[in-house]
Structure 1
Amino acid sequence: MKGAYFILGFILLVLAFSFASASDPSPLQDFCVAINDTKKGSVIVNGKFCKDPKLATVNDFFFSGLNIPKNTSNSVGSVVTPVNVDQIPGLNTLGISLVRIDYAPSGGLNPPHTHPRGTEILVVLEGTLYVGFVTSNPNNRLISKILYPGDVFVFPIGLIHFQQNVGKTNAVAFAGLSSQNPGVITMANAVFGSNPPINPDALTGAFQLDKKVVKYLQSRF
């Protein structure tokens, strides 16, 4: 009987590890080109309907334009160009995506944010970036580094992270993510720009700020 319990426990441990370590589910077909179609008989997988494989074309697996620099003259001085399942329908169920990030000189910032569904691996092509992530409670340890062209850095799934251009020229980085649609939650936007707004009393207590400051920050986002 003890042997049976041991085997059962081992199986449950393996299954738990499998679920805990997975990102997007493994596909059960060659591909599932995403379409916005709710007709009778359509099959939905991971939030997207699948096109009949016989109707797939080369353009379902193609995107062009990541070589084009973006205009970074905005409030944070950066632009993220995503290439996920919304840009390449053929990524549906494949568990991977890509972004290009352009940073303005001297402070261009990809603000603190998280990807709830994917780990990110970033490589610097141009410029000098200060990057980092913060571990979960209770330690909230900052792990950070200055990166130069050719350097690579990993941001674990779900953890708050950021990048900032600390050089005097434009910076460019590319990042791969372990999800077809990793999602993004920008901390400042989510906390101070939620719709409807979070009660200022809650934010006053959480951030130990004067209510006037909280209302000002809410007005900014």
Structure 2
Amino acid sequence: MVLASEEQQIASILESPNAPLLANRLFSALEEEKKRREYFYRDIDDDMKVEFINGEVIAHSPVKKEHTDATGLLYKLLDTHVDIHQLGYVGYEKVMTSLTRNDYEPDVVFFKQEKAAHFKKGHWKYPAPDLAVEVLSEGTEHRDRGIKFQDYAAHNVEEYWIIDPIAETIEQYFLEGEEYKLHLKLEEGMIRSKAVLGFAILVRAVFDRKVNLEALKGIME
């Protein structure tokens, strides 16, 4: 799907004789959405995994074992590497990432030290990360490849991984200009992060516990 640029979208509206009316309706709709977002912040609690996307509250169903396994195995490696080298902060599953309009809870996120230095006890609303990782499931794939793909890029998330726990593949995207470009898609071999200095692992380490353990040993040596 090819999206029109902001300039093209604005130009299309300005071509309409109803442009002022459309602008007023848009402003009113966004003000109402802002109120719903405030209610969302008020009503959520620690037991909920929910996101606020384009004005709607999205509640997540329980995920399958392969989703949890891939998330946990990657988090273990990434968090250990980041801690050892004091590179920043790694979070997973319920890190509320608040962007201009939407609030997401990516499966794994990494923040460089410049951002992480501002996180204190009680912190619960986070800025755009430097690396975002989404693990696909049937109910979320369209958002992971759609609105989140667009929104992370728009907010300068340097690197984005999409992990398919069924096919056991990792797609790695780098931000080039204003868009993500696919750098690689692997079932085997080594993947090296651009956002996380020195982080390089075998793709299989995200899907195979034995390989993961060997990778963890290598990180800790």
Q: TM above 0.5, one fold?
A: no
Q: TM-score with structure 2 length normalisation? A: 0.30
Q: Which has the larger radius of gyration?
A: 1
Q: TM-score with structure 1 length normalisation? A: 0.30
Structure number having the greater helix percentage:
2
